[in-house]
């Protein structure tokens, strides 16, 4: 028998696959969502839905980089999804309420030096309208507002504290996250049947002879990029071959475990 009933969001027609696996003697590492988006009502994000930027994000001692997308409900994009995968358990443990630090210019080591240079060279220009960074104009204006700078203010008007606030907003904006995407909106499940209980050569159960396991039901989850599909396809192929081999062996044994009739 091959058990390939998917992760915690897979809708089945009977008991869920974890219950079936447990019933057959397997240990199930507690399943939690992975690859999910973050909910946030941070004022900075108001009006920014659809904006994307290449960022570095950090929370709960973990970091991830890549494109970030502002949505109507919060944050998505590969950087967020990666962080949700690395932090699947720790973010669940904190109830998906945490502070997310966003570095909007990960390629820039010294944001304050950039701003000082701007003050020297573009002193008469309005800060909010001056494209000092590769960030989308709407995001730049929002960060300028976030730093408490009047939208009419010119570079030459910035005092040291204000300039440092803007540098801080560019390199480490803190956005309170208040939750994760709703149930069934995550892409994959972290946790599942304990891997030590499966023979990876055939995907055969080490607990229940004749049982083969494949796919997301297992305690395997990857980041975005097709790794979850690949894991499901590979383990499915191995389990199919394993089960076919087992059936051959069972038939060869004949009824009641004795040798088969010629
Ligand atoms: C929106 C979304 C986007 C994704 N994008 C990507 C991506 O880009 N790249 C990537 O690698 N992965 C992605 N994934 C993850 C990937 O789709 C899954 O990891 C993979 O499809 C799991 O395959 P599976 O065969 O193990 O389970 P499933 O595809 O979930 O199949 C399990 C099947 O078992 C059936 N079943 C369950 N219980 C029972 C039961 N008791 N009786 C009978 N039948 C039952 C279910 O109905 C279902 O048909 C995405 C997932 C989602 C939800």
**Residue 216 CB–ligand 1 contact under 6 Å:** yes
Looking at the predicted structure, is the pLDDT value of residue 214 above 60?
yes
**Residue 123 CB–ligand 1 contact under 6 Å:** no
Give the mean pLDDT of 134-161.
94
- Distance from the alpha carbon of residue 16 to the mean position of ligand 1, in angstroms: 13
**Residue 34 CB–ligand 1 contact under 6 Å:** no
Residue bearing the CA closest to ligand 1, atom 33: 5
Looking at the predicted structure, is the pLDDT value of residue 260 above 50?
no
Which atom of ligand 1 is nearest to 17's Cα? 38
Assess contact for 174 and 36: CB atoms under 8 A: no
Can you read off the two tokens belonging to residue 121?
A: 């060279």
Residue bearing the CA closest to ligand 1, atom 28: 6
pLDDT (0 to 100) of residue 258: 44
Reference 54, options 78, 83, 84; nearest CA is 78
- Could you read off the pLDDT of 63-77 as tens digits, one per residue? 999 999 999 999 999
Q: What 3-state class would DSSP assign to 69?
A: strand
Which atom of ligand 1 is nearest to 216's Cα? 26
Looking at the predicted structure, is the pLDDT value of residue 184 above 80?
no
Share of the chain above pLDDT 70, in %: 93
- The pTM assigned to this predicted structure is 0.89
**Please, which pLDDT band fits residue 145 given cuts at 50, 70 and 90?**
very high
- Could you read off the pLDDT of 9-66 as tens digits, one per residue? 887 776 789 999 999 999 999 999 999 999 999 999 999 999 999 999 999 999 999 9
C-alpha to C-alpha distances, 37 to 33, 75, 87, 101, 102, nearest whole angstrom:
10, 6, 12, 15, 15
**Please, which pLDDT band fits residue 93 given cuts at 50, 70 and 90?**
very high
Residue 29 pairs in a beta bridge with 192
Which atom of ligand 1 is nearest to 6's Cα? 27
User: What residue segments make up the domains of the chain, in order of their start?
Assistant: 2-32+186-254, 36-184
Could you give the CA distance from residue 126 to residue 116 in angstroms, rounded to a whole number?
15
- Distance from the alpha carbon of residue 9 to the mean position of ligand 1, in angstroms: 8
| Helix (H), strand (E), coil (C) string for the chain | CEECCCCCCCCCCCCCHHHHHHHCCCCEEEEEEECCCEECCCHHHCCCCCCEEEEEEEECCEEEEEEEEECCCEEECHHHHHHHHHCHHHHHHCCCCEEEEEECCCCCCCHHHHHHHHHHHHCCCECCCCCCCCCCHHHHHHHHHHCCCCCCCEHHHCCHHHHHHHHHHHHHEEEEECEECCCCCCCEEEEEECHHHEECCCCEECCCCCCEECHHHECCCCCCCCHHHHHHHHHHHHHHHHHHHHHHHHHHHCHHHCCCCC
Which is the CATH superfamily of the domain at 2-32+186-254?
FAD/NAD(P)-binding domain (3.50.50.60)
Could you give the CA distance from residue 176 to residue 163 in angstroms, rounded to a whole number?
23
């Amino acid at each position: 028998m091959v058990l390939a009933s998917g992760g915690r969001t897979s809708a089945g027609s009977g008991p869920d696959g974890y219950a079936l696996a447990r019933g057959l003697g397997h240990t199930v590492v507690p399943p939690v969502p992975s690859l999910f988006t973050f909910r946030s009502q941070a004022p900075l994000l108001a009006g920014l839905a659809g904006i994307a930027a290449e960022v570095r994000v950090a929370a709960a001692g973990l970091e991830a980089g890549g494109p970030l997308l502002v949505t109507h409900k919060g944050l998505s994009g590969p950087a967020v999804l990666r962080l949700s995968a690395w932090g699947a358990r720790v973010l669940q443990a904190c109830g998906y309420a945490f502070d997310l630090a966003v570095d909007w210019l990960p390629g820039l080591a010294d944001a304050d030096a950039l701003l000082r240079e701007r003050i020297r060279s573009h002193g008469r220009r309005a800060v909010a309208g001056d494209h000092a960074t590769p960030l989308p104009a709407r995001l730049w204006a929002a960060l300028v507002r976030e730093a408490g700078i009047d939208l009419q203010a010119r570079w030459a008007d910035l005092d040291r504290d204000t300039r440092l606030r803007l540098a801080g907003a560019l390199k480490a904006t803190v956005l309170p996250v208040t939750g994760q995407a709703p149930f069934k909106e995550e892409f994959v499940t972290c946790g599942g049947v304990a891997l030590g209980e499966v023979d990876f050569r055939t995907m055969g159960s080490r607990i229940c002879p004749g049982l083969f396991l494949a796919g997301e039901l297992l305690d395997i989850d990857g980041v975005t990029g097709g790794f979850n599909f690949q894991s499901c396809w590979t383990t499915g192929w191995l389990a199919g071959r394993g089960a076919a081999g087992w059936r051959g062996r069972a038939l060869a044994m004949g009824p009641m475990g004795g040798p088969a009739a010629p």
